[in-house]
Amino acid sequence: MRRILVLHGPNLNALGIREPEIYGHESLDDIERRIRQLGRDLDCEVECLQSQHEGVLIDALYGARSRSDGVLMNPGGLAHSSVPLRDAVAGAGVPVVEVHLSNPLAREPFRGPSLVSGAAVGVVQGFGAESYLLGLRALVGCLEREPRR
């Protein structure tokens, strides 16, 4: 059974409440239930972590090497501003797929490009909560093509 770590960055705890016209009406708990169900269907054990704090996410990425086969991560707004988070994705030692509920490229210019994307194996964005499920499928596909650690 593959082990997948799902990381949610700042403000994602407010899904369903914060700007539902952009992020949708599902809560983070609702989305995590869907991720876990798909994980079971794909024979994966899923661990989820949400943090408002960049350092917690960075620690989790470095810890993934010893306890996960891959990471599915929505860095939220940190995608556009955090070089340390990008470096942790690059140094995680396992494949990382970046996901976003909205399409940041179609949003405010101040968001700019994702710094994280260049270190991730791929990015899924703009499909609402479905972005997580598409990202999980992509990550599992990536892991199936790689030899197991």
Give the amino acid at 7: L
- Annotated binding residues for substrate: 74, 80, 87, 101-102, 111
End-to-end CA distance of the chain: 12
**What domain count does the chain have?**
1
- Annotated binding residues: 74, 80, 87, 101-102, 111
Name the pTM for this structure.
Answer: 0.92
8 is catalytic: no
Find, among 37, 11, 35, the residue nearest to 22 by Cα. Answer: 11
pLDDT in tens, the chain (149 residues): 999 999 999 999 988 888 777 777 899 999 999 999 999 999 999 999 999 999 999 999 999 999 999 999 999 999 988 999 999 999 999 999 999 997 776 566 766 788 999 999 999 999 999 999 999 999 999 999 986 55
* CATH of residue 120: 3.40.50.9100
Contact 71, 44 (CB under 8 A): no
Q: How far apart are CA 125 and CA 127, in angstroms?
A: 6
Q: Out of 23, 25, 62, 132, pick the active-site residue.
A: 23
62 is catalytic: no
What is the extent of the structural domain holding 124? 2-145
Q: Out of 8, 62, 100, 132, pick the active-site residue.
A: 100
